[in-house]
Structure 1
Amino acid sequence: MRIAIYSNLGEASNIVATSLKKKIEASKALKIDGLNPEIVISVGGDGTLLSAFHHYQDISGKIRLVGIHTGHLGFYTDWRDYEVSELVESLEHDNGQSVTYPLLDIKVNYAGGGPADIGLALNESTLKQINGSMVADVYIKNQLFESFRGDGLCVSTPSGSTAYNKSVGGAIINPSLNAIQVSEISSINNRVFRTLGSPLIIAPDEWVKIIPKNNNRTVLTCDHQVISTATIASVEYRISQRRIAFAQYRHTQFWRRVSNSFIGEVNLDD
Protein backbone atom coordinates (compact mmCIF):
# COMPACT_ATOMS: atom_id res chain seq x y z
CA MET A 1 0.00 0.00 0.00
CA ARG A 2 1.25 3.47 -0.93
CA ILE A 3 1.64 5.96 1.93
CA ALA A 4 2.26 9.72 1.96
CA ILE A 5 3.41 11.52 5.12
CA TYR A 6 2.38 15.17 5.50
CA SER A 7 3.94 16.86 8.53
CA ASN A 8 4.12 20.37 9.92
CA LEU A 9 7.49 21.99 10.63
CA GLY A 10 7.42 21.57 14.40
CA GLU A 11 10.22 19.63 16.08
CA ALA A 12 7.89 17.11 17.71
CA SER A 13 6.10 16.44 14.43
CA ASN A 14 9.36 16.02 12.52
CA ILE A 15 10.56 13.43 15.05
CA VAL A 16 7.33 11.45 14.67
CA ALA A 17 7.34 11.78 10.86
CA THR A 18 10.93 10.52 10.67
CA SER A 19 10.16 7.54 12.88
CA LEU A 20 7.03 6.77 10.87
CA LYS A 21 8.91 6.93 7.57
CA LYS A 22 11.58 4.49 8.80
CA LYS A 23 8.98 1.99 9.97
CA ILE A 24 7.07 2.19 6.69
CA GLU A 25 10.25 1.73 4.66
CA ALA A 26 11.06 -1.34 6.74
CA SER A 27 7.65 -2.89 6.05
CA LYS A 28 7.19 -5.33 3.17
CA ALA A 29 3.53 -4.37 2.78
CA LEU A 30 3.97 -0.59 2.69
CA LYS A 31 5.93 1.98 0.70
CA ILE A 32 6.34 5.75 0.70
CA ASP A 33 4.68 7.48 -2.25
CA GLY A 34 4.02 11.19 -1.96
CA LEU A 35 2.74 11.60 -5.52
CA ASN A 36 0.15 8.84 -5.85
CA PRO A 37 -0.75 7.70 -2.33
CA GLU A 38 -3.62 5.55 -1.16
CA ILE A 39 -3.25 6.71 2.45
CA VAL A 40 -2.15 10.20 3.56
CA ILE A 41 -0.90 10.42 7.14
CA SER A 42 -1.01 13.89 8.67
CA VAL A 43 1.42 14.52 11.53
CA GLY A 44 0.60 17.56 13.64
CA GLY A 45 -2.88 18.80 14.50
CA ASP A 46 -6.15 19.65 12.79
CA GLY A 47 -4.49 22.56 10.95
CA THR A 48 -1.92 20.20 9.47
CA LEU A 49 -4.65 17.79 8.40
CA LEU A 50 -6.57 20.62 6.72
CA SER A 51 -3.40 21.52 4.80
CA ALA A 52 -2.90 17.86 3.85
CA PHE A 53 -6.48 17.68 2.57
CA HIS A 54 -6.03 20.75 0.36
CA HIS A 55 -2.62 19.54 -0.84
CA TYR A 56 -4.20 16.32 -2.10
CA GLN A 57 -7.58 17.83 -2.95
CA ASP A 58 -7.39 16.89 -6.64
CA ILE A 59 -7.18 13.19 -5.75
CA SER A 60 -9.24 13.37 -2.54
CA GLY A 61 -11.68 10.80 -3.91
CA LYS A 62 -8.87 8.23 -4.21
CA ILE A 63 -7.24 8.59 -0.80
CA ARG A 64 -8.02 8.03 2.87
CA LEU A 65 -6.55 10.21 5.58
CA VAL A 66 -5.09 9.31 8.97
CA GLY A 67 -4.18 11.88 11.62
CA ILE A 68 -1.42 11.67 14.24
CA HIS A 69 -1.54 14.53 16.72
CA THR A 70 1.63 15.76 18.36
CA GLY A 71 0.02 18.33 20.62
CA HIS A 72 -3.53 18.78 21.85
CA LEU A 73 -6.31 16.38 20.88
CA GLY A 74 -7.84 17.28 17.52
CA PHE A 75 -11.12 16.34 15.89
CA TYR A 76 -9.48 14.72 12.89
CA THR A 77 -6.52 13.04 14.60
CA ASP A 78 -7.10 9.60 16.15
CA TRP A 79 -3.52 8.58 16.92
CA ARG A 80 -1.02 9.89 19.46
CA ASP A 81 2.65 10.57 18.78
CA TYR A 82 3.72 7.52 20.82
CA GLU A 83 1.54 5.11 18.83
CA VAL A 84 3.52 4.99 15.57
CA SER A 85 4.23 1.24 15.80
CA GLU A 86 0.54 0.46 16.41
CA LEU A 87 -0.47 2.61 13.45
CA VAL A 88 2.01 0.92 11.10
CA GLU A 89 0.65 -2.47 12.20
CA SER A 90 -2.88 -1.28 11.40
CA LEU A 91 -1.71 -0.08 7.98
CA GLU A 92 -0.21 -3.52 7.28
CA HIS A 93 -3.57 -5.16 8.04
CA ASP A 94 -5.66 -2.59 6.16
CA ASN A 95 -8.80 -3.94 4.48
CA GLY A 96 -10.15 -0.67 3.10
CA GLN A 97 -12.19 0.32 6.15
CA SER A 98 -13.19 3.99 6.23
CA VAL A 99 -15.59 6.62 7.50
CA THR A 100 -16.59 9.58 5.31
CA TYR A 101 -17.61 13.16 6.11
CA PRO A 102 -19.44 15.79 4.02
CA LEU A 103 -17.56 18.57 2.23
CA LEU A 104 -18.65 22.06 1.21
CA ASP A 105 -18.76 23.23 -2.41
CA ILE A 106 -17.96 26.93 -2.91
CA LYS A 107 -18.82 28.67 -6.18
CA VAL A 108 -17.58 32.26 -6.51
CA ASN A 109 -18.85 34.64 -9.18
CA TYR A 110 -16.80 37.80 -9.65
CA ALA A 111 -18.02 41.23 -10.62
CA GLY A 112 -17.33 41.90 -14.28
CA GLY A 113 -18.07 38.34 -15.36
CA GLY A 114 -15.55 35.70 -16.31
CA PRO A 115 -15.45 32.04 -15.22
CA ALA A 116 -16.58 31.18 -11.71
CA ASP A 117 -14.09 29.80 -9.19
CA ILE A 118 -14.95 26.48 -7.60
CA GLY A 119 -13.57 25.62 -4.17
CA LEU A 120 -13.92 22.82 -1.63
CA ALA A 121 -13.85 23.19 2.16
CA LEU A 122 -13.46 20.58 4.87
CA ASN A 123 -14.32 22.91 7.78
CA GLU A 124 -15.85 26.19 6.65
CA SER A 125 -15.88 29.23 4.43
CA THR A 126 -16.45 32.79 5.59
CA LEU A 127 -17.37 36.00 3.84
CA LYS A 128 -16.28 39.05 5.86
CA GLN A 129 -15.88 42.76 5.56
CA ILE A 130 -12.37 44.26 5.62
CA ASN A 131 -13.66 47.28 7.54
CA GLY A 132 -17.09 48.51 8.47
CA SER A 133 -20.19 46.35 8.25
CA MET A 134 -20.92 43.83 5.52
CA VAL A 135 -24.31 44.18 3.87
CA ALA A 136 -25.50 41.16 1.89
CA ASP A 137 -28.66 39.48 0.65
CA VAL A 138 -28.97 35.83 1.66
CA TYR A 139 -30.88 33.48 -0.64
CA ILE A 140 -31.90 29.92 0.13
CA LYS A 141 -32.65 27.86 -2.97
CA ASN A 142 -32.98 31.04 -5.08
CA GLN A 143 -35.48 32.63 -2.68
CA LEU A 144 -34.51 35.75 -0.74
CA PHE A 145 -34.38 34.86 2.96
CA GLU A 146 -32.95 37.97 4.60
CA SER A 147 -30.76 41.02 4.17
CA PHE A 148 -27.79 40.68 6.51
CA ARG A 149 -25.78 43.44 8.11
CA GLY A 150 -22.81 42.70 10.37
CA ASP A 151 -19.20 41.50 10.36
CA GLY A 152 -19.83 38.51 8.08
CA LEU A 153 -21.24 35.03 7.59
CA CYS A 154 -19.75 31.59 8.23
CA VAL A 155 -20.85 28.52 6.26
CA SER A 156 -19.62 25.23 7.72
CA THR A 157 -19.71 21.47 7.28
CA PRO A 158 -20.86 19.20 10.13
CA SER A 159 -17.29 18.22 11.00
CA GLY A 160 -16.32 21.90 10.81
CA SER A 161 -19.19 22.90 13.10
CA THR A 162 -16.88 22.48 16.13
CA ALA A 163 -14.33 24.95 14.74
CA TYR A 164 -14.86 28.63 13.83
CA ASN A 165 -18.61 28.05 13.52
CA LYS A 166 -18.86 27.20 17.22
CA SER A 167 -16.91 30.31 18.21
CA VAL A 168 -19.53 32.53 16.54
CA GLY A 169 -22.45 30.76 18.21
CA GLY A 170 -23.23 28.06 15.66
CA ALA A 171 -24.64 24.64 16.57
CA ILE A 172 -22.57 21.45 16.65
CA ILE A 173 -23.78 18.93 14.03
CA ASN A 174 -22.93 15.25 13.92
CA PRO A 175 -21.01 14.54 10.66
CA SER A 176 -23.35 11.63 9.94
CA LEU A 177 -25.85 14.30 8.87
CA ASN A 178 -25.49 15.53 5.30
CA ALA A 179 -26.08 19.24 5.84
CA ILE A 180 -24.40 22.64 5.92
CA GLN A 181 -24.79 25.43 8.45
CA VAL A 182 -24.91 29.21 8.10
CA SER A 183 -23.96 31.25 11.19
CA GLU A 184 -23.92 35.00 11.61
CA ILE A 185 -20.77 36.84 12.68
CA SER A 186 -21.74 39.81 14.90
CA SER A 187 -24.98 40.68 13.14
CA ILE A 188 -26.60 44.08 13.70
CA ASN A 189 -30.17 43.83 14.96
CA ASN A 190 -32.19 46.92 15.79
CA ARG A 191 -35.29 48.76 14.57
CA VAL A 192 -33.68 49.39 11.19
CA PHE A 193 -31.76 46.17 10.52
CA ARG A 194 -33.12 42.75 11.38
CA THR A 195 -31.83 39.22 10.76
CA LEU A 196 -33.01 35.86 12.08
CA GLY A 197 -30.15 35.83 14.58
CA SER A 198 -29.96 32.02 14.68
CA PRO A 199 -27.84 29.43 12.83
CA LEU A 200 -29.48 27.92 9.75
CA ILE A 201 -29.21 24.20 8.94
CA ILE A 202 -29.46 23.71 5.18
CA ALA A 203 -30.79 20.43 3.73
CA PRO A 204 -28.94 18.45 1.01
CA ASP A 205 -31.37 19.55 -1.72
CA GLU A 206 -31.00 23.24 -0.83
CA TRP A 207 -28.20 25.74 -1.33
CA VAL A 208 -27.24 29.18 -0.03
CA LYS A 209 -26.35 32.18 -2.16
CA ILE A 210 -24.84 35.32 -0.64
CA ILE A 211 -24.78 38.55 -2.65
CA PRO A 212 -22.66 41.30 -1.05
CA LYS A 213 -23.98 44.81 -1.50
CA ASN A 214 -20.73 46.61 -0.63
CA ASN A 215 -18.65 43.92 -2.33
CA ASN A 216 -15.50 45.95 -2.97
CA ARG A 217 -14.29 45.33 0.60
CA THR A 218 -15.17 41.68 1.22
CA VAL A 219 -12.75 38.85 1.92
CA LEU A 220 -13.57 35.21 1.18
CA THR A 221 -11.88 32.43 3.16
CA CYS A 222 -11.79 28.65 2.88
CA ASP A 223 -10.63 26.68 5.94
CA HIS A 224 -9.11 29.90 7.35
CA GLN A 225 -7.12 30.59 4.19
CA VAL A 226 -7.95 33.74 2.21
CA ILE A 227 -8.91 32.61 -1.29
CA SER A 228 -10.14 35.90 -2.75
CA THR A 229 -10.01 39.65 -2.14
CA ALA A 230 -11.30 40.44 -5.64
CA THR A 231 -14.69 42.10 -6.09
CA ILE A 232 -17.29 39.36 -5.54
CA ALA A 233 -20.69 39.36 -7.21
CA SER A 234 -21.98 36.29 -5.33
CA VAL A 235 -20.92 33.16 -3.45
CA GLU A 236 -22.95 29.96 -3.64
CA TYR A 237 -22.62 27.15 -1.09
CA ARG A 238 -23.98 23.62 -1.18
CA ILE A 239 -23.15 20.13 0.04
CA SER A 240 -20.55 18.62 -2.25
CA GLN A 241 -21.04 15.36 -4.12
CA ARG A 242 -17.51 14.53 -2.93
CA ARG A 243 -16.73 13.38 0.61
CA ILE A 244 -13.54 13.06 2.63
CA ALA A 245 -12.58 9.57 3.76
CA PHE A 246 -10.63 8.61 6.89
CA ALA A 247 -9.08 5.19 7.33
CA GLN A 248 -11.10 3.77 10.20
CA TYR A 249 -8.60 1.59 12.03
CA ARG A 250 -10.10 3.17 15.10
CA HIS A 251 -12.26 6.25 15.10
CA THR A 252 -13.30 8.11 18.23
CA GLN A 253 -17.08 8.47 18.49
CA PHE A 254 -18.05 12.03 17.56
CA TRP A 255 -19.83 13.08 20.76
CA ARG A 256 -17.03 11.63 22.89
CA ARG A 257 -14.63 13.70 20.81
CA VAL A 258 -16.72 16.82 21.45
CA SER A 259 -16.96 16.08 25.17
CA ASN A 260 -13.22 15.44 25.52
CA SER A 261 -12.32 18.63 23.70
CA PHE A 262 -14.74 21.13 25.25
CA ILE A 263 -15.79 19.64 28.58
CA GLY A 264 -12.99 17.28 29.60
CA GLU A 265 -13.07 13.99 31.43
CA VAL A 266 -16.22 13.55 33.49
CA ASN A 267 -15.67 12.15 37.00
CA LEU A 268 -18.91 10.49 38.07
CA ASP A 269 -17.63 10.27 41.68
CA ASP A 270 -17.63 14.06 42.11
Structure 2
Amino acid sequence: MQWAVFGAGLVGSYLGAAGGASHACRRRQGPLRERVCLADGVREWAPQPFPQQTGEMPVLVASRAHHTPWQHCQPHWLAAQNGLGQGLPVLVCFLAVDRDAEGRIVSSTGSPPRVVCGPVAASWQPIFQAWRGAGLVVETVADIRPAQWEKAILNATLGPLCLASGRSMPEVMADATARQLVLAGLAEGEAIAAANGIALAPDLQPRALAFFNAMGDHRPSVLNDPAELAWVLPPLLAAAQRQRLPAPALQEIFARASSLCQGPC
Protein backbone atom coordinates (compact mmCIF):
# COMPACT_ATOMS: atom_id res chain seq x y z
CA MET A 1 0.00 0.00 0.00
CA GLN A 2 1.49 3.35 -1.04
CA TRP A 3 1.34 5.77 1.85
CA ALA A 4 3.86 7.53 4.07
CA VAL A 5 4.63 8.47 7.66
CA PHE A 6 6.31 11.79 8.34
CA GLY A 7 7.90 11.51 11.78
CA ALA A 8 8.29 7.79 12.44
CA GLY A 9 8.87 7.87 16.18
CA LEU A 10 7.17 5.34 18.42
CA VAL A 11 3.58 6.27 17.51
CA GLY A 12 4.38 6.87 13.84
CA SER A 13 6.21 3.56 13.57
CA TYR A 14 3.44 1.67 15.36
CA LEU A 15 0.77 3.07 13.03
CA GLY A 16 3.05 2.80 10.00
CA ALA A 17 3.78 -0.87 10.61
CA ALA A 18 0.14 -1.64 11.45
CA GLY A 19 -1.02 -0.05 8.20
CA GLY A 20 1.84 -1.26 6.01
CA ALA A 21 3.17 2.22 5.16
CA SER A 22 5.52 2.07 2.19
CA HIS A 23 7.55 5.21 2.98
CA ALA A 24 8.65 7.07 6.11
CA CYS A 25 11.15 9.47 7.62
CA ARG A 26 12.23 10.50 11.10
CA ARG A 27 14.57 13.01 12.67
CA ARG A 28 17.18 10.44 13.70
CA GLN A 29 19.61 9.59 10.92
CA GLY A 30 20.19 6.08 9.60
CA PRO A 31 18.07 3.32 8.10
CA LEU A 32 14.56 2.99 9.43
CA ARG A 33 13.87 -0.58 10.52
CA GLU A 34 11.53 -1.48 13.37
CA ARG A 35 10.02 -4.57 14.95
CA VAL A 36 6.48 -3.80 16.05
CA CYS A 37 4.30 -6.05 18.21
CA LEU A 38 0.72 -6.05 16.95
CA ALA A 39 -2.34 -8.14 17.74
CA ASP A 40 -1.56 -10.44 14.81
CA GLY A 41 2.12 -10.90 15.70
CA VAL A 42 5.48 -9.16 15.40
CA ARG A 43 5.90 -7.18 12.20
CA GLU A 44 9.21 -6.18 10.63
CA TRP A 45 8.80 -2.71 9.16
CA ALA A 46 11.45 -1.26 6.86
CA PRO A 47 9.84 1.47 4.76
CA GLN A 48 11.49 3.28 1.89
CA PRO A 49 12.71 6.88 2.43
CA PHE A 50 10.09 9.59 2.39
CA PRO A 51 9.47 10.63 -1.25
CA GLN A 52 10.36 14.07 -2.53
CA GLN A 53 6.99 14.27 -4.26
CA THR A 54 3.97 12.73 -2.52
CA GLY A 55 1.21 13.77 -4.92
CA GLU A 56 -2.11 12.39 -3.68
CA MET A 57 -0.43 9.77 -1.49
CA PRO A 58 -1.87 9.67 2.05
CA VAL A 59 0.64 10.99 4.57
CA LEU A 60 0.39 10.58 8.34
CA VAL A 61 2.18 13.40 10.13
CA ALA A 62 3.37 11.89 13.42
CA SER A 63 6.18 14.32 14.15
CA ARG A 64 5.81 16.57 17.17
CA ALA A 65 3.81 19.67 16.32
CA HIS A 66 6.75 22.03 16.92
CA HIS A 67 8.96 19.93 14.60
CA THR A 68 6.46 19.86 11.74
CA PRO A 69 7.10 21.90 8.55
CA TRP A 70 3.48 23.04 8.30
CA GLN A 71 4.13 25.07 5.15
CA HIS A 72 4.88 21.86 3.23
CA CYS A 73 1.90 19.84 4.48
CA GLN A 74 -0.96 19.04 2.12
CA PRO A 75 -4.68 19.34 3.00
CA HIS A 76 -5.30 15.58 2.59
CA TRP A 77 -2.60 14.66 5.11
CA LEU A 78 -3.53 13.62 8.68
CA ALA A 79 -1.81 14.82 11.86
CA ALA A 80 -1.43 12.17 14.58
CA GLN A 81 -0.33 14.64 17.24
CA ASN A 82 -1.22 15.73 20.74
CA GLY A 83 -2.60 19.19 21.39
CA LEU A 84 -4.82 21.74 19.72
CA GLY A 85 -4.34 24.15 16.84
CA GLN A 86 -2.88 21.94 14.11
CA GLY A 87 -3.48 23.15 10.58
CA LEU A 88 -4.43 19.70 9.30
CA PRO A 89 -7.20 17.15 9.84
CA VAL A 90 -6.36 15.26 13.03
CA LEU A 91 -6.14 11.59 13.90
CA VAL A 92 -6.67 11.41 17.66
CA CYS A 93 -4.69 8.54 19.18
CA PHE A 94 -5.89 6.99 22.44
CA LEU A 95 -2.90 4.70 22.74
CA ALA A 96 0.43 4.45 24.50
CA VAL A 97 3.47 2.75 23.00
CA ASP A 98 6.92 2.01 24.38
CA ARG A 99 9.93 -0.19 23.66
CA ASP A 100 10.22 -3.53 25.42
CA ALA A 101 13.46 -5.12 26.65
CA GLU A 102 14.15 -6.43 23.14
CA GLY A 103 13.77 -2.98 21.55
CA ARG A 104 10.45 -3.80 19.94
CA ILE A 105 7.65 -1.23 19.82
CA VAL A 106 4.71 -2.43 21.91
CA SER A 107 1.35 -1.14 23.07
CA SER A 108 1.46 -0.29 26.78
CA THR A 109 -2.23 -0.72 27.55
CA GLY A 110 -4.33 -3.80 28.11
CA SER A 111 -7.10 -2.58 25.83
CA PRO A 112 -6.76 -2.35 22.04
CA PRO A 113 -5.22 0.91 20.79
CA ARG A 114 -7.94 3.28 19.56
CA VAL A 115 -7.77 6.06 16.98
CA VAL A 116 -10.52 8.51 16.07
CA CYS A 117 -10.77 10.42 12.81
CA GLY A 118 -13.15 12.93 11.27
CA PRO A 119 -14.11 13.14 7.59
CA VAL A 120 -11.12 12.35 5.34
CA ALA A 121 -10.35 11.51 1.72
CA ALA A 122 -11.42 8.07 0.50
CA SER A 123 -7.75 7.14 0.05
CA TRP A 124 -7.47 6.68 3.83
CA GLN A 125 -10.08 3.91 3.99
CA PRO A 126 -7.72 1.03 3.01
CA ILE A 127 -5.32 2.22 5.72
CA PHE A 128 -8.11 2.24 8.29
CA GLN A 129 -9.00 -1.30 7.25
CA ALA A 130 -5.38 -2.37 7.61
CA TRP A 131 -5.25 -0.86 11.10
CA ARG A 132 -8.40 -2.72 12.07
CA GLY A 133 -6.86 -5.93 10.75
CA ALA A 134 -3.83 -5.31 12.98
CA GLY A 135 -6.02 -5.05 16.09
CA LEU A 136 -6.63 -1.29 16.34
CA VAL A 137 -10.05 0.18 17.00
CA VAL A 138 -10.69 2.81 14.31
CA GLU A 139 -13.60 5.18 14.81
CA THR A 140 -14.78 7.73 12.25
CA VAL A 141 -16.91 10.63 13.46
CA ALA A 142 -18.58 13.64 11.88
CA ASP A 143 -16.92 16.07 14.31
CA ILE A 144 -13.39 15.33 15.52
CA ARG A 145 -13.26 18.20 18.01
CA PRO A 146 -14.65 16.38 21.08
CA ALA A 147 -12.10 13.57 20.72
CA GLN A 148 -9.28 16.05 20.10
CA TRP A 149 -10.21 18.16 23.11
CA GLU A 150 -10.61 15.11 25.34
CA LYS A 151 -7.12 13.87 24.44
CA ALA A 152 -5.71 17.37 24.98
CA ILE A 153 -7.26 17.47 28.46
CA LEU A 154 -5.77 14.05 29.28
CA ASN A 155 -2.37 15.24 28.05
CA ALA A 156 -2.66 18.46 30.08
CA THR A 157 -2.96 16.79 33.48
CA LEU A 158 -1.00 13.67 34.42
CA GLY A 159 1.90 13.88 31.95
CA PRO A 160 2.98 17.41 32.92
CA LEU A 161 2.92 16.43 36.60
CA CYS A 162 5.19 13.47 35.78
CA LEU A 163 7.50 15.94 34.06
CA ALA A 164 7.41 18.38 36.99
CA SER A 165 7.99 15.76 39.68
CA GLY A 166 10.22 13.24 37.93
CA ARG A 167 7.83 10.49 39.03
CA SER A 168 6.06 7.80 37.05
CA MET A 169 2.35 7.88 36.25
CA PRO A 170 1.43 5.40 39.04
CA GLU A 171 3.59 7.31 41.52
CA VAL A 172 1.89 10.61 40.72
CA MET A 173 -1.57 9.05 40.99
CA ALA A 174 -0.64 7.44 44.32
CA ASP A 175 0.08 10.89 45.79
CA ALA A 176 -3.22 12.20 47.20
CA THR A 177 -2.41 15.87 46.52
CA ALA A 178 -1.22 15.26 42.95
CA ARG A 179 -4.20 12.98 42.24
CA GLN A 180 -6.58 15.71 43.38
CA LEU A 181 -4.82 18.18 41.12
CA VAL A 182 -5.27 15.79 38.18
CA LEU A 183 -8.98 15.37 38.94
CA ALA A 184 -9.45 19.13 39.29
CA GLY A 185 -7.63 19.70 35.99
CA LEU A 186 -9.88 17.19 34.25
CA ALA A 187 -12.99 18.94 35.61
CA GLU A 188 -11.67 22.34 34.51
CA GLY A 189 -10.83 21.02 31.05
CA GLU A 190 -14.32 19.61 30.67
CA ALA A 191 -15.84 22.96 31.69
CA ILE A 192 -13.58 24.87 29.29
CA ALA A 193 -14.56 22.58 26.43
CA ALA A 194 -18.26 23.01 27.17
CA ALA A 195 -17.93 26.80 27.36
CA ASN A 196 -16.28 26.74 23.92
CA GLY A 197 -19.07 24.69 22.38
CA ILE A 198 -17.31 21.30 22.57
CA ALA A 199 -19.60 18.61 23.99
CA LEU A 200 -17.45 15.83 25.43
CA ALA A 201 -18.86 12.37 26.08
CA PRO A 202 -20.21 11.99 29.64
CA ASP A 203 -18.12 10.65 32.54
CA LEU A 204 -14.76 12.11 31.48
CA GLN A 205 -13.12 11.58 34.88
CA PRO A 206 -13.79 7.83 35.20
CA ARG A 207 -12.86 7.34 31.55
CA ALA A 208 -9.63 9.28 32.04
CA LEU A 209 -8.71 7.37 35.20
CA ALA A 210 -9.30 4.05 33.44
CA PHE A 211 -7.04 5.21 30.58
CA PHE A 212 -4.31 6.35 32.99
CA ASN A 213 -4.50 3.14 35.03
CA ALA A 214 -4.16 0.98 31.91
CA MET A 215 -0.85 2.58 30.95
CA GLY A 216 1.23 1.30 33.86
CA ASP A 217 4.77 2.71 33.75
CA HIS A 218 4.39 4.24 30.29
CA ARG A 219 6.50 7.38 29.79
CA PRO A 220 4.24 10.22 28.58
CA SER A 221 5.56 11.84 25.42
CA VAL A 222 6.04 15.18 27.17
CA LEU A 223 8.88 13.61 29.19
CA ASN A 224 10.82 13.06 25.99
CA ASP A 225 10.12 16.56 24.66
CA PRO A 226 8.75 19.13 27.14
CA ALA A 227 8.20 21.62 24.31
CA GLU A 228 5.05 19.61 23.50
CA LEU A 229 3.43 21.47 26.42
CA ALA A 230 3.05 24.52 24.18
CA TRP A 231 0.44 22.67 22.09
CA VAL A 232 -1.48 21.30 25.07
CA LEU A 233 -1.79 23.53 28.13
CA PRO A 234 -1.56 27.08 26.69
CA PRO A 235 -4.42 26.49 24.18
CA LEU A 236 -6.64 25.20 27.00
CA LEU A 237 -5.74 28.14 29.24
CA ALA A 238 -6.33 30.58 26.37
CA ALA A 239 -9.74 28.99 25.74
CA ALA A 240 -10.57 29.44 29.45
CA GLN A 241 -9.49 33.08 29.32
CA ARG A 242 -11.68 33.75 26.27
CA GLN A 243 -14.68 32.55 28.26
CA ARG A 244 -13.48 34.18 31.51
CA LEU A 245 -13.38 30.82 33.23
CA PRO A 246 -11.09 30.21 36.21
CA ALA A 247 -8.66 27.32 35.73
CA PRO A 248 -6.49 27.29 38.87
CA ALA A 249 -5.60 23.59 38.69
CA LEU A 250 -4.48 23.73 35.05
CA GLN A 251 -2.56 26.93 35.77
CA GLU A 252 -0.83 25.21 38.70
CA ILE A 253 0.07 22.20 36.56
CA PHE A 254 1.43 24.48 33.85
CA ALA A 255 3.46 26.51 36.35
CA ARG A 256 5.04 23.35 37.76
CA ALA A 257 5.92 21.86 34.38
CA SER A 258 6.80 24.89 32.27
CA SER A 259 10.00 25.64 34.20
CA LEU A 260 11.45 22.48 32.62
CA CYS A 261 10.79 23.59 29.05
CA GLN A 262 13.64 24.63 26.82
CA GLY A 263 12.16 27.37 24.71
CA PRO A 264 8.57 28.65 24.72
CA CYS A 265 5.89 26.62 26.46
Common fold, TM-score beyond 0.5? no
Higher helix share: 2
Higher strand share: 1
- TM normalised by structure 2 equals 0.28
- TM normalised by structure 1 equals 0.28
Q: Which has the higher contact order (CA 8 A, sep 6+)?
A: 1
Largest Rg, 1 or 2: 1
